[in-house]
Chain A
Amino acid sequence: MPRGLLDIESLTRAEIEAILTRSKDFQPAPGQSFKRFDILRGRSVVNLFFEASTRTRTSFEMAAKRLGADTVSITASGSSVSKGESLVDTLNTLAAMRPDAIVMRHSASGAPHFLSRYLPIPIVNAGDGTHEHPTQALLDARTILDRRGTLEGLRVAIIGDIAHSRVARSNIFLLSKFGVQVVLCGPAPLLPREMGEIASGVELTCDMETAIRAADVIMMLRVQLERQHSSPFPASEYFQFFGLRPEHVELARPDVVVMHPGPINRGREISSEVADSQRSAILNQVENGVAVRMAVLERVLAA
């Protein structure tokens, strides 16, 4: 099987460290723009997005271009997908054009894993359903490292719709490998007990203050109120009990880092005061997204 990046769970700590270390080389110096490289000159990357995404798709495109690769981006609307072609057929068609890698986002958990059994081309998972979003966890780790220097021994609170979050899963797998104490918090129906069993060092609470007290990092998750079919929690009181406000931040460590994978819903899961505060690393996350994805593409493609 060609080496892609399907998930964080199957990576070793050393592999993750290698990507994180390499991504530092791709970060722009303060006040400067990204440098260009020709590490992947002559290579081609297809970005195949079966789900709408502006930031992740753009970030992957820029990462590939800054490494000198050619990129093509395809979104599901307007493609053969809407004409009823199966996923395997779509991918086989693309594979016949011999790209060097396929970056893929799909609404079905495990779609890239399923395809990787049949395709001779490495697949980079850019988010699969409610399973994983590996590059998000890598860029989150890069962002924490930039501010705190180490992951070991930190306390990280992840707050929101844990059950349906691929960001949460990838972060849990990654942080757990580095000895981080992870606290998951959200409305009980969105916080399955088994989330505490998928990795070591994970605890669960439905109480925001318990989650945040003494936290080094607070990761807020987007809550998709519009996608909850039969509303597993009372949406009307969500912000009151799970929205991040300045008074919460005071409970955390003074140098707490506030993060959010975006796009943020001001007033829904995070208040504007917190999102725009000094402690917010939200824009650093976006910036690091490009550097980390450069390191990932290099790892996958530079043979």
Chain B
Amino acid sequence: MSRLVIKNGRIVDPARNLDRTTDLAIEEGLVREIADRIDTTGSEVFDASGLVVAPGFIDMHVHLREPGFEHAETIETGSRAAAAGGFTSICCMPNTEPVNDSATVTSYIVDRARRFAAVNVYPIGAITRNSAGEELAAIASMKQAGIVAISDDGKPVMNARVVRRAMEYARAVDLPLIEHCEDLHLSAGGDMHEGRQSTRLGLRGIPRSSEDVMVARDLILAELTGVRYHVAHISSRNSVDMVAFAKHRGLPVTSEATPHHFALTDENMLPYDSSYKMKPPLRERGDSEAVTEGLVRGSIDAIATDHAPHAGAEKMQEFERCPFGIIGLETAIGLALERLYHPGKVPLSRLIQLFTENPARILSLQRGTLRIGAAADVTILSLDREWTYDVNRSPSKSRNTPFHGRAFRGGPVATVVDGKIVWRADALS
């Protein structure tokens, strides 16, 4: 019988309103007991003195690039990066080659994940066939094969009638619809946020309005259809306000924000460095403050990385030719602590909720809590350990990050999936 006892950690489980320094026992991959001075006879022991023991963190928005783009990332390497970032579950977007728009592709991903993944992998299926925005994908059969949501991430559905049909269908099969909100006509040709910086640098802009227009459209359609609707990587003040308004009206609407959208603005960009190129783009101070406020007040429910690996050569080009996206799994907790917890903007339980209880609820995952009998996914983190991110040591196959060399205070120390320690930091201080 495999048994792991995590001793003397500060156990914080927002789903159960628990915040207590005590012991946690895991048996056969399940949470068995939370109590003081648990007997460790015959058990593996992890001394978590001075550390926080949280439910396993869930990243509801990553790109694993498999199948089709294995030169940039695979399910194995991406999931190992997740483990190294303290995530025990990740949800992979369908923009692979082929697109995950059928039960066959979903099953392939589920099977590869079962064999090679270091953490739990939950696929997200496409909304439309080939994410082309026209015909609906095989949504119900993908659900049977294991998808937890639908999204045409990166290729927003421009046709409002198609979105409406998808929402109706998703509601009937009880799946949330996740939208990458970007009106492609308004953003056409854009490479960074439209504003003073893009004007200065002579780069074509992606206006906030391209995000806001689609959020507005979708919220109206979400009300019409009753779908559980989720805004991916929200980045503009108006969009945050509109989601707050929809929640106030009682709609089942949620949203997520990435660490880079609350940690950086377009003023932080190194000019023409594609490590700062992503969609939505880094916006202005007012927007990143709005995202932070949304995370504090509840109009934003989850932190998700939008981990988007691209191979070196793809990002070593003229800025306008580089693809969009940065990797983010290993820096998410550090950035969240830096921007939200250490400045006192959110208490620890809220911070953990954004990574655990909330994404689990949005996607109906039986994870994200340490209640007795639950799957033993645990993230052990330090609030104070000082460390510096070295992307060259990342398990990810890609290196596209603006955070290489950044010093952090606090971060993941060990990652436990189904009762097994799948990653631990080299040195504790």
Contacts and interface: CB of A to CB of B under 8 A. Distances in A.
Interface of A: 9, 86-88, 106, 108-111, 113-114, 128-132, 166, 169, 192, 194-195, 197-198, 230
A169 B204 CA distance: 14
Nearest to B191: A109
A131 B202 contact: yes
B184 interface: no
Interface in B124-179: none
B199 interface: yes
B384 interface: no
B213 interface: no
B272 A109 contact: yes
B428 interface: no
A108 B196 contact: no
Nearest to A6: B271
Contacts of B272: 109-111, 113-114
B317 interface: yes
Q: Which 3 A-B pairs have the closest CB atoms?
A: A131-B202, A110-B272, A108-B318
Given A114-B272, A194-B196, A109 B317 contact: no
6 contacts: A86-B317, A109-B203, A114-B319, A129-B203, A129-B320, A198-B199
A211 to B, nearest CB: 19
A246 to B, nearest CB: 33
A128 B320 CA distance: 12
B199 A110 contact: no
B200 interface: yes
B95 to A, nearest CB: 24
Contacts of B217: none
A198 B196 contact: yes
A59 to B, nearest CB: 22
Contacts of B1: none
Contact of A110 (B188, B194, B202, B313): B202
B318 A131 contact: no
A128 B273 CA distance: 15
A194 B271 contact: no
Contacts of A166: 202
Contacts of A169: 200, 202
B195 interface: yes
B323 to A, nearest CB: 14
Interface residues of B, number: 22
Contacts of B321: 108
B271 A86 contact: no
B265 to A, nearest CB: 15
Contact of A129 (B188, B196, B202): B202
Chief secondary structure at chain B's binding surface? loop
A235 B316 CA distance: 37
B266 to A, nearest CB: 11
B201 interface: yes
A130 B320 CA distance: 12
Nearest to A110: B272
Interface of B: 188, 194-196, 198-205, 271-273, 313, 316-321
Contacts of B204: 130
Contacts of B199: 192, 194-195, 197-198
A88 B271 contact: no
Nearest to B199: A194
A128 B202 contact: yes
Contact of B316 (A9, A88, A195, A230): A88
A39 B313 CA distance: 40
A88 to B, nearest CB: 6
A188 to B, nearest CB: 15
A166 B318 CA distance: 17
A131 B197 CA distance: 11
Contacts of A87: 317-318
B428 to A, nearest CB: 36
A114 B318 contact: yes
Given A131-B201, A169-B202, A110 B319 contact: yes
A158 B271 CA distance: 26
Given A109-B201, A110-B203, A192-B205, 7 more contacts: A9-B200, A86-B316, A109-B202, A109-B319, A111-B272, A111-B318, A114-B319
A229 to B, nearest CB: 8
B320 A108 contact: yes
A9 B320 CA distance: 21
A132 B271 CA distance: 13
B201 to A, nearest CB: 6
Contacts of B195: 194
Given A194-B195, A197-B196, A198-B196, A106 B318 contact: yes
A213 to B, nearest CB: 26
A54 B318 CA distance: 23
Given A109-B319, A111-B318, A114-B272, A86 B313 contact: yes
Contacts of B319: 108-110, 114
Contacts of B316: 86, 88
Contacts of B201: 109-110, 131
Given A110-B271, A114-B272, A194-B196, A88 B317 contact: yes
A106 B320 CA distance: 12
A198 B318 contact: no
A194 B284 CA distance: 13
B202 A198 contact: no
Contacts of A131: 201-203
A198 B201 CA distance: 10
Contacts of A197: 196, 199
Q: Name which of A114, A128, A130 has the most chain B CB atoms within 10 A of its CB.
A: A114
Nearest to B204: A130
Nearest to B198: A194
Contacts of A129: 202-203, 320
A132 B200 CA distance: 9
Contacts of B198: 194
A109 B320 contact: yes
Q: Name which of B188, B200, B317 has the most chain A CB atoms within 10 A of its CB.
A: B200
Contacts of B313: 86
B318 to A, nearest CB: 4
Nearest to A166: B202
Contacts of B196: 194, 197-198
Contacts of B273: 114
A106 B199 CA distance: 18
Contacts of A128: 202
B421 to A, nearest CB: 40
Nearest to A169: B202
A250 B199 CA distance: 32
Contacts of A109: 201-203, 272, 319-320
A86 B311 CA distance: 14
